[in-house]
Amino acid sequence: MLFLNTQLHLLFFKIINLFDDLVEICFGVSMFHVSLETLPYFTKESGRELLKEGKENITLRGLKILLEDVNKFKEFSATGKYLLLRFIGENLNQRQRSIHLMEYLPEVQETNFKRPVFILSLPRTGSTFFHCSLLKDKRWNSPTSWEFHQPLPHVYPLPSEYVKKVRSFNKSLRSMEIRLGESFTRSHHVEATSPEDIGEILIGEGIWCYMAEAFNLPNYMDYIKNLPKKDFAQSYNIIKKRIRLMCRYQNMENRRFLLMLHLGLNTNIEALLETFPDAQFIMLHRNLTEIIPSATSLYSYLQLDYKKQNLDNKQFICDGITERYVEELEKMKSWRNSEKFQDCNFKRIIDIKFTDLIKDPIQVFKSLYKDLEMEYTPECNESFLKHFEEQNKIKRVKHVYQKVNVDKKLLERSKDYHHQYVY
C-alpha cells in the first residue's frame, strides 16, 4: 500500500511539473514562486511568530537569500519548491515550539552537558556506522532522527502514543526511499531511531548546507561561507538548548552526549568550541578519492525530490564538494594547532583511520575509550561484539557510485593530510 501511494504521489507531482513547464514555455515564468511571504502558508502559529520578526533575524536573513536564489534557478521543479517550503516550514515550527517549551520549562537547561563528544569529520567517512555502533553502549546518548522532529522532553521507554509517532516517521522515511530509489537506500538507509547529524536542525536557523552544495545557488553559498562567528555561535547555542530539552529526562547525570557534526559549510570551529568548551572531538579519516564520489552520489539522489527531471549536475556537485572538502582539510591544520583548541587538560582530538575502523572496530573502540577517559566494560564489549556480528549477517549490496571526474590537481593539495591521517 505504501509503495502504491508513493507512486501515485509521484505521478501527481509529474503532472504538476509538466503543467508548470508548459506555463513557463508559454509565459516565461513559473506558476510557483517562493519567498518569505509564501512561508506562512507552510507554518503553524508558532512558526509564523518567527516570520514576523523581520529581516534582522538571522534565520530569516538566510532563508530570504535561499528562496531568492531558488527562484532564479530554473531547474528547480514546481513540486520541488513546494517540498522546499514545506520542509522549511516544519523546521521553523519545531524551532519555535522548542523555544516556547524552554520558556515554559526553564529547568530543562539544567540538563547535564559535561564533556560532550563530537564526531567531527567529512561526510561519508563511516561516521554514521561509527555513531550507531558506539550508541550500543547505553552510557552514551544522542537525539535520534524522529526526536529532532518532535521537540519535546522524551522519556524512555516511550509511551504508546509516541511509539505510533516513531512508526509514522519510519513510514515517511520508507516513502522517501521509494521516491529516491534503491541506490539511495543502499547509500544512506536510516531509521527513525537512528542518530542524526545536528546539522539537520540548523535548517531552523537558516543554514541549509545541502541546498548550497547540491544546487547552483551562488548568493546563498556566499552567505553561508561568510556567516560571522557570532551568528554561528547563536545558532549553536539554540541547538544546544534544544538538545538539552529533548534529553531532559534521559538520565544525563550518568551519561555523555555523543553528537555528530560533519565538517563543511555548517561548521565554524571557533563558535563550536565557544558553545561546547569542554568537548572532545573524534575525527574519522578516509581517502578523498573514496569520499567525493560517495558524497556526490548521495547528493544527486537527494536532489530527485527538488530538481527537474532533465537536470544532471553531478559534475557540478563533484567539483564543488572537492574544492570545499580540500579547503576544510587545509583549515583543519590551523584550528587543530590553535591555542584555544589545545588549552585543555584532556585529549581534545582523537584521530581514527577509516581502514582501522573497518578492519578491527573492537580494537579501535578500546583505544578510543582510553582517550575518552571512560572505562571499557565487559558489558559494552559484549554489546559491540553482538552489534558487529549482526551487521556482518546483513546481506549488503555494493554501493554503485555516480561516474564523475575528480579534480586531481585539487586533490594534490591534500597530499600531506593523507600521509598524516589516512595511510
Is residue 247 within 8 A of residue 116, CB to CB? The reply is no
Is residue 217 within 8 A of residue 69, CB to CB? The reply is yes
Give just the sign of the alpha carbon dihedral 320, 321, 322, 328. Answer: positive
Domain parsing of the chain, residue ranges? 113-422
Provide CB contacts within 8 A for 136, sequence distance 6+.
380, 383, 384, 386, 387
pLDDT of residue 396: 57
Q: What is the pTM of this model?
A: 0.92
Taking only the tens of pLDDT, the chain with its 423 residues reads: 888 888 888 888 889 888 888 888 888 888 889 999 999 999 988 888 888 876 668 899 999 999 999 999 888 999 999 999 999 999 999 999 999 999 988 888 888 899 999 999 999 999 999 999 999 999 999 999 989 888 788 888 888 888 888 899 889 989 888 888 888 888 888 888 899 999 989 999 999 998 988 888 999 999 999 999 999 999 999 999 999 999 999 999 999 999 999 999 999 999 999 999 999 999 999 999 999 999 999 999 989 899 988 778 899 999 999 999 999 999 998 899 888 888 899 999 999 999 999 999 999 999 999 999 999 999 999 999 999 988 887 755 566 677 889 999 999 999 999 999 998
Q: Looking at the chain, how many residues does it have? A: 423
pLDDT of residue 157: 82
- Nearest of 422, 414, 315 to residue 358 by alpha carbon: 422
Q: Tally the C-alpha atoms within 13 A of residue 144's C-alpha that lie toward its C-beta.
A: 18
Residues facing residue 349 across a β-bridge:
281
Strand segments (E) across 286-392: 349-353
For the chain, give percent helix, strand, coil, nearest 5. 60, 5, 30
pLDDT of residue 261: 96
pLDDT of residue 397: 55
Residues facing residue 141 across a β-bridge:
257
- The grid cell for 306 is 527538488
- The grid cell for 215 is 544546487
pLDDT of residue 25: 82
Give just the sign of the alpha carbon dihedral 336, 340, 345, 348. Answer: negative
Looking at 3.50.50.60, 3.30.1330.60, 3.30.70.1450, 3.40.50.300, the CATH number of the domain 113-422 comes to 3.40.50.300
